[in-house]
Amino acid sequence: MTEKPDQASHSPRTFYLLLVQVILSVVLVGVLVATQLRTKQEDKQAEAIELQLKGLDAEIDHLNAQTRSMFINVEFKLPKLQKLAALLDKSRVVATVLEKGGESAYLQREAQINLQLAQASDEDLREIGQRLTEVLPVYATFEILGKLPLMLPDRFEIVAAEIRPWLETQYATHYQASVRPLLRPYGSSIKQARTSIRRKFLPESRVRAIYIAPLISLLSPLPIDVRPIVMEGDYMLRSSGPLLGGGY
């Protein structure tokens, strides 16, 4: 009879102990599961970082290879670069471009001319435009005039302004076929060329008419002023290069 109360008093304590053990087990399992999940996530992050590092290593290797290749190229081309540097003498820009040569000298030396034009000042370009038509044969002048728009895409108008008047008057010569395709690139037209030709030759024809008209008046049976007729006739002859082989 005295043992029953002891058993009853121990039963709740045992139950609570078991309950605490179960709760602790559940918590422990949860902690273990959370730890494993976090470990897996960290492993994935580590793998991603490792892949990024490998990618960076590959990029660094590629950049190193490019750098080595550039150094090799510079070392290989250094003598040629030094030779080109010797040509960068601004005091001889105009002289180099206008240097006299054979028929195809300018076509063969186009790279050198490009180098000089690249460092030419606006003043240099104006002088080149003014003197280009003086120092070269006409056929060689037309060759280089055809290439100048490509050689000077940004500052071509500086040269074109100096060459345009000469080019327009050449339309009255037997070079008309060579002049025609150049008029538009140089900012002109056939109409403007004819105007320039008239402006150039008409004053000369007017002066010539003053001396020629009296002689023709002596031969004319009519008492008229033949100076306008003589002037226009003289102008037509002088400006008819393509028909008369360059005028008379």
What confidence tier does 6 reach under pLDDT thresholds 50, 70, 90? Answer: low
Q: Which of 148, 169, 188 is the last residue of a domain?
A: 188
Contacts for 128-134: CB closer than 8 Å, 24+ residues apart: 128/94, 128/97, 128/98, 128/159, 128/162, 129/158, 129/159, 129/160, 129/161, 129/162, 129/163, 130/162, 131/94, 131/98, 132/97, 132/98, 132/159, 132/163, 133/163, 133/166
Q: Are residues 146 and 94 in the same domain?
A: yes
Query: Considering the domain boundaries, does residue 67 fall inside one?
Result: no
Q: Are residues 184 and 107 in the same domain?
A: yes
Q: Which residues, including other chains, have CB under 8 Å from residue 41's CB and lie 6 or more apart?
A: none
**pLDDT for the residue numbered 105:** 46
Query: Considering the domain boundaries, does residue 17 fall inside one?
Result: no
**pLDDT for the residue numbered 59:** 87
Query: For the ranges 45-54, 179-188, 239-248, which has the lowest average pLDDT?
Result: 239-248
| Assigned token pair, 85 | 């540097």
What confidence tier does 244 reach under pLDDT thresholds 50, 70, 90? Answer: very low
d(CA 246, CA 172): 7
Residue 2 confidence (pLDDT) above 70: no
Query: Considering the domain boundaries, does residue 79 fall inside one?
Result: no
Whether pTM exceeds 0.85: no
Residue 107 confidence (pLDDT) above 50: no
Query: Considering the domain boundaries, does residue 176 fall inside one?
Result: yes
Query: Considering the domain boundaries, does residue 37 fall inside one?
Result: no
Q: What average pLDDT is seen over the chain?
A: 74
Q: Are residues 177 and 99 in the same domain?
A: yes
Q: Which of 168, 188, 208 is the last residue of a domain?
A: 188
Domain count, the chain: 2
Q: Are residues 160 and 211 in the same domain?
A: no
Residue of 135 and 100 predicted with greater confidence: 135
Q: Which residues span the domain enclosing 221?
A: 195-244
Query: Considering the domain boundaries, does residue 226 fall inside one?
Result: yes
Query: For the ranges 129-133, 148-152, 216-220, which has the lowest average pLDDT?
Result: 216-220
**pLDDT for the residue numbered 238:** 64
**pLDDT for the residue numbered 9:** 53
Calculate the CA dihedral of residues 119, 121, 125, 127 and round it to 10 degrees: -120
Query: Considering the domain boundaries, does residue 169 fall inside one?
Result: yes
Query: Considering the domain boundaries, does residue 85 fall inside one?
Result: no
Q: Are residues 98 and 183 in the same domain?
A: yes
Q: Which of 188, 208, 232 is the last residue of a domain?
A: 188
Residue of 204 and 4 predicted with greater confidence: 204
C-beta separation of 110 from 150 below 8 A? no
Q: Are residues 104 and 158 in the same domain?
A: yes
